[in-house]
Structure 1
Amino acid sequence: MSASAADSNIYNDSTYSSESKEEDQETSPEQILRAGASPMVEPATQSENVSVPSLSNPFNVFDIYDAHQKYVKLHSGDKSMIYKKAEGIDVSYAQGKIDWQAVKDSGIDYAIIRAGYGNANKYPNQVDTWFKYNIEEATKVGMDIGIYWYSYADDIETARYEAESCYEVIKDYDINYPVYFDIEEPKHKNFSTARVSEIIESFCSTIESKGYYAGVYTFASLLNTKIYQEVLDKYAVWVAHWDVPAPGYSYSYGMWQYHATGRVNGISTDVDLDHCYINYPYLISPDTYVPDGTETDSSAQIYPVNIDKGVAKGIDVSVWQGKIDWDKVKASGVDYAVVRAGYGDLATQTDKYFEANMEGAEKAGIDCGVYWYSYASSPEDAVLEAEACYEVIKDHKFEYPVYYAVEDSSIAALSNQQITDIINAFCSTLEKKGYYVGVKSYANFLNTRVDASVYSKYDVWVAHYGVSKPAFNKHFNMWQFTNEGQIDGIKGYVNCNYAYLDFPGIMKSAHKNGF
């Protein structure tokens, strides 16, 4: 069972409104069809020289040459101009009539304007109702301009038509920020990684063929789990993750939507706020760009704090993941797995897949740790749980600690002292048997319900999702950073972790955990 996400609901199924940009949409294609409207005839022509991948061959999206050319473009020319911190907003019809001079005077450097949504060649009236006003008035006052197009695409053909629709709307305007493909519909979360990636590739390659600098916008968890990195390497990345010190996305990005309820002079409603770190106006129009002295050749001082990914990347698994192809897990870059041994105070409560998971991971060359899920209500119960855990794990070696997972809602009514005593009882029992022991729970619980003395005796594995660093105020050596990871060889979501110690070296040199 995964850790509680009480600290942050960023990655829960219900959090599209807490990370994504579009909450209230105009009529969608699906709604039009349900209402009985007849779709217009699809245009017969395709743009020239656009390579669109096939679902039967998803690796067509891996155009390494194009990715390399984008890298060359980004790192060519005057390198002192590549990076620049700029403050922006993104707007749509939802903001109503905007006083763009007041926006400009308030210190906003650029605006990403919604041009429309869906396939306007197929469904009429899907140009944003305030697009013409916004782009013309923002341009008049000297704002830098980018574009986003909100997607409902289910496949590569629809995505290409969306790109064609976008082009028809924006083709007569000067744009010096990327044209972003906004992919964030709930259905997209349920598509395969290959399908999402090729939809993005279809739109972006089409809009690039028209002479635009293409980008992709979505929330951090979808960037992490549903898009091949080779695709993201080819296009500008705009990540949405609100009210955190840094976005929960550890790869390259040029823009971050960090707040959804900002207030800016000249706009009467809430508005999304954005930081930009790449000097897109220079990259897009180097011949006409006028420097202002804030450009730099180093990103070190302008990007938010990077995520510390530790020395090893791991997963934790249980019966909930079902049958796992451990060879594929290993090939995906996973260094270790913390396997659930069982729960409660009986050895008969062994996790159904414990032995299979241990055997598969060991054969694949993946280092292992173990955890036992607690329901103890007293130190006496905790000792019984420790004895049960020992009976299950005693014939195995573990390169990673034996963790006591204390996070069940049944312990909420216990006092802090009772919880501390329970943890000490379990951990000390197994420590006497030669195991390197730790406690695992979510950050708020560890901060508020456990006496700090525990942390000087036992290791800590903290769960906190959607943040750049766990909000745990003591030392820890493992961090469960998401419960929506997707790993080759595992169906559905899996918890992902970073480890900060060379645990295998420690176990072997200290002769712990069966070594």
Structure 2
Amino acid sequence: MRICKRLLSVLTAFSFVGTGAVLSPSEAFAENNISCNIYDTTISLESKEASGSILQDTADENTVEASSMTEVPFNVFDIYNAHQKYVKLHSGDKSLMYKKTEGIDVSYAQGKIDWQAVKDSGIDFAIIRAGYGNADKYPYQKDTWFQYNIEEAKKVGMDVGIYWYSYAYSPEEAREEAESCYNIIKDYDIHYPVYFDIEEEGQKKLPVAEISAIIDSFCSTIESKGYYAGIYSFSSLLSSKVYQQVLDKYAIWVAHWNVKAPGYKGDYGMWQHSDAGTVNGINTVVDLDHCYVNYPYLISPDTYEPDGTETDETENLRPLSIDRGVASGIDVSVWQGKVDWEAVKNSGINYAMIRAGYGDLASQTDKYFEANIEGAEKAGIDCGAYWYSYASSPEDAVLEAKACLEVIGGHKFAYPIYYCIEDQCFSTMTNQEITDIINAFCSTLEKEGYYVGIKSYANFLNTRVDESVFSKYDVWVAHYGVSKPEFRKNYNMWQYTNDGKVEGLSGSFNLDYAYLNFPEIMAKNHLNGF
């Protein structure tokens, strides 16, 4: 686990210091080499004890009689143990820096909260909205439930942090927002960061340099007031719209809902994993958060009392690492209706797998195929395609291949053409029959210069398809709710969810990761219309 600059500062000072000077190295992806068999460059499945007793109060020590001191030798071990506890608390001992805690973030939208019920339900902390925009200029922009929330939460012994919802479009506006935030929170003790919430649609369209300057302006201003500053936004914005040197300076709170792990690849201390949680004491849905950094210790080491649940950076508190490959994708068909491809692009999606059609007639083209191709390409998203099969024999599969060729002809595809074998009609066939159908379709397209593959669920691919297929054609495996698909052979694309969310779009989507630089492969090998 990489330790960010803010945390390194704690390790390198005898007393807590809020700054540091170590920048984490950027992650790099190695290029995939293209072998003679273009399908063969694939991803394979990888088969303290508490410190001693504390010194007695000075007043108690002063009352000890000289005679009793003569009778009972002074306990030097108590002094040593007490000193060790002091050193542990004040030298930035790594064993206290990380801690798994559960939290919520709230605003006026949750109404009146029973904070004792919230705490009793197992919630450790709350991040409370203080307000939005420039509340000094417009006082009504202070969150109407802020004072109640922070006072009642602290009254029941809950640690709190702050977030400020931004409408800033310049560094100066962000600085003014920070001043507004400070004026509202200045009378309260806060043991979690003060987060700058940047997620407005208009802000996302600003250049990277401008967004980074806006974030830095708010955070540096709030830090100058003595607070631990942080950034909150969605995975896609943090991944693509903020300079790394800015991300390295502040605490990161990433939002990515309904996934096994957030799509953000950098360091993060907190993850908002749901926007539809339920908690005792709150009558509405509420955002739920996992926290991995022990912010109460980092922010107030002099008063922090360990409870034995702390750990160091060697323990992996965060969710299992997911290999997100080299590109993030979406696959769509008529079932998604009209897609806003600009919103898809802005969400961080790199490529789209588009259903071309189904069955053995070209007239069975997907109703939205041409519109999806045109919209995706106009938005700058690379495309691949898939054909949904109902074939009952190799001869039928050849007819499906010819229908597919007629539909996709005239288009260039930077990603493969996949044969989708997942209909219930295949459940009554033998493995050999299924394999023959796959070979018939894929070989027909391959002869026409297409990079082809097979798409299905992990269990089906493991049990119903002959292994010879996987060495001849690419594999796109579907397996949801896992950190890695349980497919025993090789794959170059993974459909990891059928319930994904895309910023700017409503509904659920199939989302994918690609593990090869497919556009480069197509261009170099003159495949798929290139």
TM-score w.r.t. length of structure 1: 0.61
Q: Which shifted more, 195-204 or 447-456?
A: 447-456
1:153-168 to 2 correspondences below 5 Å: 153-168=168-183
| Equivalent of 2:198 in 159, 183, 192 | 183
User: Do residues 94 (structure 1) and 94 (structure 2) align?
Assistant: no
The residue that corresponds to 1:203 in the other structure is 218
1:3-402 to 2 correspondences below 5 Å: 69-73=5-9, 75-76=11-12, 77-298=92-313, 300-309=315-324, 374=387, 379-384=397-402
The residue that corresponds to 2:443 in the other structure is 428
Q: Distance in 2 between matches of 1:170 and 1:401?
A: 51
Q: Tell me the C-alpha RMSD between the 2 structures.
A: 5.1
The residue that corresponds to 1:404 in the other structure is 418
**1:196–1:227: 8 Å Cα contact kept in structure 2?**
yes
Q: Distance in 2 between matches of 1:501 and 1:374?
A: 22
Q: Distance in 2 between matches of 1:266 and 1:372?
A: 48
**1:181–1:204: 8 Å Cα contact kept in structure 2?**
yes
State the one-letter code of the partner of 1:193: V
Helix, strand or coil: the match of 1:261?
Answer: strand
Q: Distance in 1 between matches of 2:405 and 2:287?
A: 53
**2:388–2:419: 8 Å Cα contact kept in structure 1?**
no
Q: Distance in 1 between matches of 2:282 and 2:461?
A: 47
Q: Distance in 1 between matches of 2:298 and 2:323?
A: 30
Shift of 1:280: 0.4
State the one-letter code of the partner of 1:171: K
Q: Distance in 1 between matches of 2:120 and 2:388?
A: 59
Please give the per-residue CA displacement for 1:19-58, whole angstroms capped at 9, x wherever unaligned: xxxxxxxxxxxxxxxxxxxxxxxxxxxxxxxxxxxxxxxx
Shift of 1:240: 1.6
**1:225–1:484: 8 Å Cα contact kept in structure 2?**
no
The 3 A distance-change label for structure 1 pair 479 and 376 is closer
State the one-letter code of the partner of 1:250: K
Q: Distance in 2 between matches of 1:339 and 1:106?
A: 43
Helix, strand or coil: the match of 1:103?
Answer: helix
Shift of 1:108: 1.6
State the one-letter code of the partner of 1:201: D
**2:117–2:281: 8 Å Cα contact kept in structure 1?**
yes
Name the count of aligned residue pairs.
390
The 3 A distance-change label for structure 1 pair 401 and 199 is closer
Shift of 1:128: 0.9
Question: Is there any run of 5+ residues in structure 2 with no aligned partner, and where?
Answer: 13-91, 331-338, 340-349, 363-369, 371-381, 391-395, 503-510
The 3 A distance-change label for structure 1 pair 121 and 176 is same
**2:167–2:200: 8 Å Cα contact kept in structure 1?**
yes
Please give the per-residue CA displacement for 1:217-266, whole angstroms capped at 9, x wherever unaligned: 12222222322333222211111222322222222111111222323233
Shift of 1:392: 9.4
**1:404–1:423: 8 Å Cα contact kept in structure 2?**
no
The 3 A distance-change label for structure 1 pair 153 and 339 is same
The 3 A distance-change label for structure 1 pair 481 and 224 is farther
Q: Which shifted more, 270-279 or 243-252?
A: 243-252
Shift of 1:70: 2.2
Question: Is there any run of 5+ residues in structure 1 with no aligned partner, and where?
Answer: 1-66, 321-333, 352-368, 486-494
**2:320–2:483: 8 Å Cα contact kept in structure 1?**
no
Q: Distance in 1 between matches of 2:416 and 2:114?
A: 60
**2:191–2:300: 8 Å Cα contact kept in structure 1?**
yes
The 3 A distance-change label for structure 1 pair 68 and 250 is closer
| Equivalent of 2:515 in 491, 495, 499 | 499
Q: Distance in 2 between matches of 1:455 and 1:250?
A: 36
**1:372–1:389: 8 Å Cα contact kept in structure 2?**
no
Q: Distance in 1 between matches of 2:352 and 2:126?
A: 45
Q: Distance in 1 between matches of 2:168 and 2:461?
A: 48
The 3 A distance-change label for structure 1 pair 122 and 406 is farther
**2:164–2:196: 8 Å Cα contact kept in structure 1?**
yes
Q: Which shifted more, 163-172 or 135-144?
A: 135-144
Please give the per-residue CA displacement for 1:98-146, whole angstroms capped at 9, x wherever unaligned: 2222222222211111111111122221111111111112112211110
Helix, strand or coil: the match of 1:94?
Answer: helix
Q: Which shifted more, 288-297 or 411-420?
A: 411-420
Helix, strand or coil: the match of 2:181?
Answer: helix
Give the greater-gyration-radius structure (CA). Answer: 2
The 3 A distance-change label for structure 1 pair 204 and 101 is same
Shift of 1:430: 5.2
TM-score w.r.t. length of structure 2: 0.59
Q: Distance in 1 between matches of 2:154 and 2:409?
A: 71
| Equivalent of 2:494 in 479, 486, 491 | 479
State the one-letter code of the partner of 1:133: Y
